[in-house]
Structure 1
Amino acid sequence: MAENPGSPSHGSLSPEGILREIQVNLLECKVCFEKFSTRQRERRPQNLSCGHVLCLECITALSHPLLRKLECPFCRQLCNTDSTSHCQALTDLQELLLSRTPRSPVPHRAKGGLGLVGGPSCGALQLCTAFGGWGTLINPTGVAVFGSSGTVVVVHDGDKRVVVFSPQGRKLHSFGRRGQAPGEICYPVDVAVTPSGHVVVTDAGDNAVKVFTSRGNHVLTTKESFQLPWGVDVNSCGHILVSDLQAGTLSQLTVDYTQGVTLEHQTVVPDLQHPKAVSCCKVTGHTAVVEHLHDDTQPRGNRHNTRLRVFAKDFQLLYQTDSFSLTLGSRVWLCMSAVTFDKEGDVIVTDSNKGMIWSLGNLQNGPTLTPLIRDHLIHPVGLVSAVSNTLLILDSGDHAVKMYSAKSDAV
């Protein structure tokens, strides 16, 4: 289950940046993405018995009309609609901010609550749009993009496990019903798209890799040698690369998509430690893997030590770095949860603890940490480099896909 919505660390933000974070993360409903308002009855912030806050319209829409109960979309606790109350604290905060900053340059969402534009970013990239949200996406775990078209595919915990969006964020269709029958998906973890347009899903609930057409027709399911398949990506040759969290391996699958058969299953990297995220560079042919280290060498406290390894085309290790090594030179502790390559072949990672995106450079002469995104992220779990110099971030904190680009390209 994704973490409850919350704001990222504000230690490095200016007062204006903190104000923007308050507006986005506290003063709007995290289900419909509309701003709370006392002037519109349906937008009034209401306390649920579990402590979370929704607007009155979303409480009405999510509750059973006869039982007058709803399941909190964030903690899943069953709440009685008759026990909700007006959240006066948020109303007072909103009124205070409006009276002090009548023309504050706060980001605003486009009509319908799906787009987010405006407002300068603290990092090198700026948020252009966001889509999804609770109901459309439920605890999403993986994101990928269809080639040059920019069509986005996400796996999540809904009744249909795979959702396809247009580049503008409009839901096109969904497939992969929950279950273990052919064509069904138990617990999707990650997703990738092949050059031919097939969708590849790792199913940790069925210990399998499953392949579908772009319209959702089942092509094949392979369980051979997998103990707990996790991360997945596809290289430029169409080979599927899968990390196995439990076996500690990286496998390469060669598939005949026309016949729907697996031609070869080869372990290309053994002896990994809890490998999760996988990414293939279309420019260099390199493959990056993020490992989660669980041993006695990691520092005390609740900081998780993660390691990034980058392999050449022949899967020889080129270079590696980890959270502890990075902090020696930069005093920044990265909890890496996802990885991708940009068009220059530089490595980009998510920091799920701080809600940030970092560039590590090409790593040939050692990592060069550059913060790319600091704003509007809660708990990023997925990352993909898309067309037109954009980054797509899957944020499980508010169940949304967020698109960032350079300020000159922002719309």
Structure 2
Amino acid sequence: MAVNPRSLRSQGNQRPERILREIQSNLLECKVCFEMFNPAGQSEHRPQNLPCGHVLCLECIRALSHPVLKKLECPFCRQLCDVDSTSHCQALSDLQELLLNSKVGAPSSGGKACHVSGSLQLCSAFGGWGTLFNPTGIAVLGTSGTMVVVHDGDTRVVVFGPQGRRLNSFGQRGDIGYPLDVAVTPSGHVVVTDAGNKSLKVFTSRGCHVLTLTDVFQLPWGVDIDSHGNILVSDSQTGTLSRVTLDCGRGVILDHQTPITDLEHPRSVACCQVTGATAVVEHLLFDESHPNGNHRPTRLRVYEKDFNLRYQIDSFSLSLGSTAWLCISAVAFDGDGNVIIIDCQQAMIWKLHKGTKLTPLIGENLVHPLGLICAAKDNTLTVLDSGDHTVKIYSAI
């Protein structure tokens, strides 16, 4: 099943009600259509086992399978499965019946409820397999709440409205090889880091190509826009952070500088529009002494507006006050200038106070979060979850 086992871990400080909510949202819901499983009779939403071990509802299996070959590609592990080899998941049906009979953790009759997670609640989600394929980056377009997502689909860039309606897409496989991140300039131009041909590419919001910056990067990864409209790009291969100034109207490069040159495999980049600070996530060498054997530690560096180092902290130091080892997959700033980090190891979102203290913001309904948008005007967080190929919106309701 497409479930993060860490989200179901039992800890002494967890209340039974929270555990039951996590069971409901992580086990009893199809992670493709987000409908609750219904084990009754010939229901379209009966939980079905795939040969690979994942579970989908019957309706999604029929929708994803080839009408003639009767085969489908598992949306989570990509294994090719024979539809005739699927079977009813009796264990989930029994669990759901048990919860329903006990009247604990049962879904409300009015539809999906918001689930408490840290200090924020999940209010809506959109996307899913078939709409997004292994998404890697997200950005907001203008003040309307329109979102831009890069992924591994036939068209690499997808534009969604504030309510999740797909507006348009662009960037064919030949135009964009392997997108890793996306940002939007104040003028509304979409900037994509393309690891496929080691370039930075700029498009209009409708998908018209503006320019491509090549022969500069070895592995361009994270990208964001600073308070002056400059583009900041991390290069995971060379360990640098570049600042690029463009004239998108004329399609020309005005300036290219490298203010930081001593990074170790930098990836996610975020710029604070309030203070001008810049945050960079580094992926360090593997820690062979860690119990998991293949744990890759991470480090967060936060710089002042002039790129002088304000502070840095690694995953080991952050984990001292936590029950598990943190792995920072991305970083962002909220409207007040606070650092927000994404922890893909525990599938959580944290607020970082003064570079040392962590406060959980979101701790449920995430599988493998990779991207984040902080909206200051309505105090919402929009999370890109590559684990179930979705965009999830949380709010402090």
Q: TM-score, normalised by structure 2?
A: 0.93
SS for the counterpart of 2:130 is: coil
Which amino acid is 2:45 matched to? R
| Farther off after superposition, 14-23 or 334-343 | 14-23
Measured at CA, do residues 331 and 152 of structure 1 come closer, stay the same or move farther in structure 2, by a change above 3 Å?
A: same
Distance in 2 (CA, whole Å) between partners of 1:216 and 1:51 is: 39
- Alignment of 1:318 with 2:310, yes or no, is yes
Superposition pairs for residues 396-407 of structure 1, below 5 Å? Answer: 396-407=386-397
Match of 1:11 in 2: 10
Per-residue CA shift, 1:108-167, capped at 9, x if unaligned?
995xxxxx5434x24111111111111111111111112321111111111111111111
Q: 1:156: which partner in 2? A: 151
Give the 5 Å matches for 1:141-220. Answer: 141-179=136-174, 184-220=175-211
Give the SS at the match of 2:357: coil
- Corresponding pairs, count: 391
Q: CA deviation at 1:304?
A: 2.8
| Deviation of the 1:99 alpha carbon | 0.7
Q: Secondary structure at the match of 1:42?
A: coil
Helix, strand or coil at the partner of 2:60 = helix
Structure 2: how far apart are the matches of 1:67 and 1:109? Answer: 38
2:279/2:302 contact within 8 Å kept: yes
Cα distance change, pair 162–298 in 1 and its aligned pair in 2 (3 A): farther
Change over 3 Å in CA distance of 1:51–1:239 after alignment to 2? same
SS in 2 for 1:398: coil
Counterpart secondary structure, 1:17: helix
Q: Could you list the runs of 5+ residues in structure 1 that have no partner in the other structure?
A: 111-115
3-state SS of the aligned residue for 2:61? helix
The DSSP-based 3-state class of the residue aligned with 1:66 is: coil
After superposition, the CA RMSD in angstroms is: 2.0
Asked whether the 8 Å contact 2:264–2:282 carries over to 1, the reply is yes
Q: Shift of residue 248 of structure 1?
A: 0.5
Of stretches 121-130 and 347-356 in structure 1, the one that deviates more from structure 2 is: 121-130
Q: 1:109 to 1:66 in 2, by over 3 A?
A: farther
Is 1:279 aligned to residue 270 of structure 2? yes
- Report the equivalent of 1:70: 72
Contact 1:240 1:253 in 2 (8 A): yes
Contact 2:286 2:295 in 1 (8 A): no
Is the CA contact (8 Å cut-off) linking 1:152 and 1:166 kept in structure 2?
Answer: yes
Q: Any stretches of 5+ residues in structure 2 without a counterpart?
A: none
In the TM superposition, what is the alpha-carbon distance from 1:296 to its structure 2 partner? 6.2
- Look up the SS of the partner of 1:41 in the other structure: coil
| Residue in structure 1 matched with residue 125 of structure 2 by the alignment | 130
Separation of aligned partners in 2, 1:331 and 1:317 = 29
Question: Kindly, what percent of the aligned residue pairs are identical?
Answer: 64
Residue 207 of structure 1: how far off its partner (Å): 0.7
Note the C-alpha offset of 1:303: 3.5
Task: Give the alignment of 1:256-275 within 5 angstroms.
Answer: 256-275=247-266
Q: 1:49 to 1:330 in 2, by over 3 A?
A: closer
Tell me the distance in 2 between the aligned counterparts of 1:295 and 1:24: 33
Whole-Å separation in 2 of the counterparts to 1:225 and 1:395: 30
The counterpart of 1:376, out of the listed 358, 365, 372, is 365
Q: Which residue number in structure 2 is paired with residue 113 of structure 1?
A: none
Alignment CA distance shift 1:299-1:45 (3 Å): closer
Name the counterpart of 1:21: 22
Pick aligned residue for 2:378 from 388, 406, 411: 388
Partner Cα separation in structure 1 for residue 266 and residue 22 of structure 2: 33
Shift of 1:352: 0.5
Q: Does the aligned pair in 1 maintain the 2:107–2:113 contact within 8 Å? A: no
